[in-house]
């Protein structure tokens, strides 16, 4: 009987305040959807850093005259630079890339784009691709090679990848900020819904208190109303993340960055953050409802 009563009270409360219930569910869904997006962005950043952590090199580009004359790094200028780099304690490995190999790499990177058809092997420099023992020792490597003949420029690939990381971190920060605002809005809606529901049923609750019902028993339906809206809102948020991945996210990443540039978000990644979203959704709704009842409602 007690369970049936509580269940009926929850259904009645949700039905009476249907417009506010819908608004709260949608606000919760938006806020937790944004939060989930932020968590996925953090996961993507971690995966991208892991993906590129062992691949990043310092590219020592040779001048075009040296690149054209020396296709196998056997002549004095290129061979001398390679030997000096291999003997340095800063360097883990050195690989020579001639103009044809540089052109093949260029075609892979810009496959299908207009830029790929404009380049020629003769216009691309050969390079020594250096992997450092400590990736933070780029300045020391620059000092080692400063003033050496045959070098046109030295490029640290970390600087290029850092722009990508910076872009992803900006997205993460913006999404988390919007999620925080939406969570606050959801909490305010929950508080208003609980107060309104309690006011509409003040007579029934008063009678229950007179016949000996405990405070927890009279408050439980209101807390369950808030929890139910939190669960439904979270379910909509998770569903929107799954649909968004299938319809928009994969194509947006491929078109914006190219295949393989950053790791694709998998369905398992979304499912792995879903339990945390459900806990947060239920927690925000329940805690807000409880605090509202304690501070503003006399039951």
For residues 223 and 177, what is the distance between their CA atoms, to the nearest angstrom? Answer: 27
**What's the average model confidence in pLDDT over 231-256?**
82
CA nearest neighbour of 278 among 36, 40, 43: 36
State the pLDDT at residue 83: 93
Number of C-alpha atoms within 13 angstroms, CB side, residue 76? 2
Is the pLDDT reported for residue 12 higher than 60?
Answer: yes
**Is 294 or 101 the better-scoring residue by pLDDT?**
101
State the pLDDT at residue 122: 79
pLDDT digits (tens, 9 = 90+) for 217-240: 667 777 788 888 889 999 999 999
State the pLDDT at residue 1: 43
CA nearest neighbour of 74 among 110, 48, 98, 108: 98
**What's the average model confidence in pLDDT over 74-83?**
92
pLDDT digits (tens, 9 = 90+) for 106-135: 777 666 555 556 667 778 899 999 988 887
Count the Cβ atoms, other than its own, within 10 Å of residue 284: 23
Is the pLDDT reported for residue 259 higher than 60?
Answer: no
0.85 exceeded by pTM: no
Please state the φ and ψ torsions of residue 195, each to the nearest 5 degrees: -65, -45
Count the Cβ atoms, other than its own, within 10 Å of residue 153: 11
CA nearest neighbour of 293 among 211, 195, 221: 195
For residues 224 and 18, what is the distance between their CA atoms, to the nearest angstrom? Answer: 15
pLDDT digits (tens, 9 = 90+) for 194-203: 777 766 666 6
% of residues, the chain, pLDDT over 90: 18
pLDDT digits (tens, 9 = 90+) for 263-273: 778 888 899 99
State the pLDDT at residue 258: 53
* 241 burial type by CB count under 10 A (0-12 exposed, 13-18 middle, 19+ buried): buried
Please state the φ and ψ torsions of residue 130, each to the nearest 5 degrees: -105, 130
% of residues, the chain, pLDDT over 70: 77
**pLDDT, the chain, mean:** 80
For the chain, what percentages of helix, strand and coil (3-state, to nearest 5) are there? 75, 10, 20
Give me 217's structure tokens. 């028993």
Least confident of 61-75, 116-130, 132-146, 148-162: 116-130
**What's the average model confidence in pLDDT over 187-192?**
83
Task: Name the band, by pLDDT with cuts 50, 70 and 90, for residue 178.
Answer: confident
Task: Name the band, by pLDDT with cuts 50, 70 and 90, for residue 187.
Answer: confident
Q: What is the maximal distance between C-alpha atoms in the chain?
A: 101
Residue 97, strand partner residues = 127
Least confident of 71-85, 207-221, 224-238, 256-270: 207-221
Give me 284's structure tokens. 């925000």
């Amino acid at each position: 009987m007690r369970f049936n009563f509580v269940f009926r009270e929850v259904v009645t409360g949700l039905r009476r305040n249907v417009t506010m219930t819908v608004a709260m569910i949608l606000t919760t869904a938006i806020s937790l959807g944004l939060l989930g997006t932020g968590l996925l962005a953090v996961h993507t950043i971690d995966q991208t850093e892991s993906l590129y952590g062992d691949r990043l090199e310092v590219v020592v580009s040779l001048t075009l005259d040296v690149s054209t004359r020396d296709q196998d790094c056997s002549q004095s200028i290129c061979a001398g630079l390679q030997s000096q780099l291999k003997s340095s304690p800063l360097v883990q490995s050195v690989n020579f890339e001639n103009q044809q190999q540089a052109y093949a790499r260029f075609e892979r990177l810009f496959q299908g784009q207009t830029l790929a058809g404009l380049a020629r092997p003769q216009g691309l420099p050969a390079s020594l691709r250096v992997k450092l023992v400590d990736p933070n020792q780029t300045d020391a490597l620059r000092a080692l090679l400063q003033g050496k003949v045959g070098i046109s420029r030295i490029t640290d690939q970390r600087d290029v990848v850092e722009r990508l990381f910076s872009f992803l971190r900006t997205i993460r920060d913006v999404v988390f900020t919007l999620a925080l605002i939406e969570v606050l809005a959801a909490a305010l809606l929950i508080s208003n819904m609980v107060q309104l529901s309690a006011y509409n049923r003040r007579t029934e609750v008063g009678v229950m208190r007179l016949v000996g019902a405990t405070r927890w028993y009279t408050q439980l339906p209101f807390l369950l109303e808030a929890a139910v809206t939190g669960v439904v809102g979270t379910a909509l948020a998770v569903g929107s993340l799954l649909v968004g991945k299938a319809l928009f996210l994969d194509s947006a990443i491929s078109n914006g960055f190219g295949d393989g540039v950053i790791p694709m978000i998998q369905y398992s990644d979304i499912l792995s953050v879903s339990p945390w979203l459900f806990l947060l959704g239920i927690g925000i709704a329940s805690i807000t409802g409880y605090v509202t009842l304690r501070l503003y409602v006399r039951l």
